């Protein structure tokens, strides 16, 4: 299986901060990467697919970049609704895998 | 609106079985692959299984292969997961999720998720 490693595991930030989360794949996955946001007790929500395509309805402060083995999710100006856990997911293989998650906390 | 509603979870003894269901509405169910994804308490997300839009191709995580079976009834807009030989480590919230590619042959991103159904394996 392709292993996905996210960093950092936890991130403390303030409203208005620019936040960047990194996801690394154990082998090249081209651009077959998605990002999800999950709040406690809720199902995940798709934010970004194909590394940089923003899902319809997702605020433009979210952006994704990268290809191959290194990817980033950036929140340009953190809002109160953005405090959550974020997961990357590869779908280059028949067996999709997730990163372990990055929790964005209030500083 | 687009909606997925899971049911069928519960408490079961090790070695037991359950059948999870996922009722879909608001989209052409028969045109999209579907997934099951699980999340153990306090842990991250784990993809479990995928079924192609027409039911012809199925893929499973190694951790459930041979014990879990994914299926679908396109006439009833319903996805299923038969879970057998349950182990304590299968304890999790099980989510169904819609694939984001129309008539895709392989797993892609998951653009719609249900609210989840809890499966607890305990004696």
Query: Where do the DSSP E strands lie in chain B?
Result: 3-7, 10-12, 18-25, 32-39, 45-51, 58-60, 68-73, 78-83, 92-102, 110-113, 117-121
* Tokens coding B30: 């028969």
Asked if residue B123 has pLDDT above 90, the reply is: yes
Report the C-alpha gap between B22 and B3 in whole angstroms. Answer: 10
Q: What pLDDT sits at residue A107? A: 87
Mean pLDDT of B10-17: 98
Query: Within 13 A of B104's CA, how many CA atoms are on the CB side?
Result: 19
Q: Write the secondary structure of A53-107 as one string of H (helix), E (strand) and C (coil).
A: EECCCCCCCEEEEEECCEEEEEECCCCHHHCCEEEEEECCCCCCEECCCEEEEEC
* Ramachandran region, residue A16 (left: φ > 0; alpha: ψ -120 to 50; beta: rest): left
Residues from chain A that touch B61, judged by Cβ atoms under 8 A, are 95
Indicate the range of A59-63, A92-96, B3-7 predicted with least confidence: A92-96
Write down the mean pLDDT value for chain B: 97
Determine what percent of chain B is predicted with pLDDT higher than 70.
Answer: 100
Residue of A41, A40, A35 lying closest to A58 (CA atoms): A35
Q: Are B109 and A32 in contact (CB under 8 A)?
A: no
Chain B residues with CB inside 8 Å of A100's CB?
44
Residue B51 has pLDDT above 90, yes or no: yes
- Smallest CA–CA distance, residue A52 to chain B, in Å, is 13
What's the pLDDT at B112? 98
User: Would you list which residues of chain A are within 8 Å, Cβ to Cβ, of chain B?
Assistant: 1, 32, 34, 36, 38, 42-46, 49-50, 55, 87, 89, 91, 94-101
Q: What number is the average pLDDT over the span B72-85?
A: 98
In tens, the pLDDT along A25-48 reads: 999 999 999 999 999 999 999 999
| Residue B69 forms contact with A (CB below 8 Å) | no
Cis check: omega of the bond before A8, within 30 degrees of 0: yes
pLDDT in tens, B110-119: 999 999 999 9
In this structure, are residues B17 and B10 in contact, taking their beta carbons and an 8 Å threshold?
Answer: no
Q: Give the tens place of pLDDT for each residue, A14-26.
A: 999 999 999 999 9
B47 reaches A (C-beta below 8 A): yes
Closest CA of chain B from A80, distance in Å: 22
Percent with pLDDT over 90 in chain B: 100
Contacts of B99 in chain A (CB under 8 A): none
Smallest CA–CA separation between B52 and chain A, in Å?
12
pLDDT of B107 above 90: yes
Q: How many residues in chain A?
A: 107
Structure tokens at B91: 């304890």
Give the minimum alpha-carbon distance from A78 to chain B in angstroms, rounded to a whole number: 23
Going B96 to B102 to B103 to B104, the CA torsion angle's sign is: negative
Radius of gyration in angstroms for the set of CA atoms belonging to chain A, rounded to a whole number: 13
Test A43 with B61 for CB contact under 8 angstroms: no
A91 vs B contacts (CB less than 8 Å): 106-109
């Amino acid at each position: 299986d392709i292993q996905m490693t996210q960093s950092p595991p936890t991130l403390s930030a303030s409203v208005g901060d620019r936040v960047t989360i990194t996801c690394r794949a154990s082998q090249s996955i081209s651009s077959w990467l998605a990002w999800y946001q999950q709040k406690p007790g809720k199902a995940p929500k798709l934010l970004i697919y194909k590394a940089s395509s923003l899902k319809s309805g997702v605020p433009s402060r979210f952006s994704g970049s990268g290809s191959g083995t290194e990817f980033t999710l950036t929140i340009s100006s953190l809002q109160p609704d953005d405090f959550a856990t974020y997961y990357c997911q590869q779908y280059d293989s028949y067996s999709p895998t997730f990163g372990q998650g990055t929790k964005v906390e209030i500083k | 609106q687009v909606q997925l509603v899971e049911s069928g979870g519960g408490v079961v003894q090790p070695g037991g079985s359950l059948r999870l269901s996922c009722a879909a509405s608001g989209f052409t169910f028969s045109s999209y692959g579907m997934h099951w994804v699980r999340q153990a308490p306090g842990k991250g997300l784990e993809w479990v299984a995928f079924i192609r839009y027409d039911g012809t191709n199925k893929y499973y995580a190694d951790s459930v292969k041979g014990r879990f079976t994914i299926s679908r009834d396109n006439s009833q807009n319903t996805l299923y997961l038969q879970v057998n030989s349950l182990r304590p480590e299968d304890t999790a919230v099980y989510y169904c999720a819609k694939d984001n590619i129309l008539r895709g042959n392989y797993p892609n991103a998951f653009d719609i998720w249900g609210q989840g159904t809890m499966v607890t394996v305990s004696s």
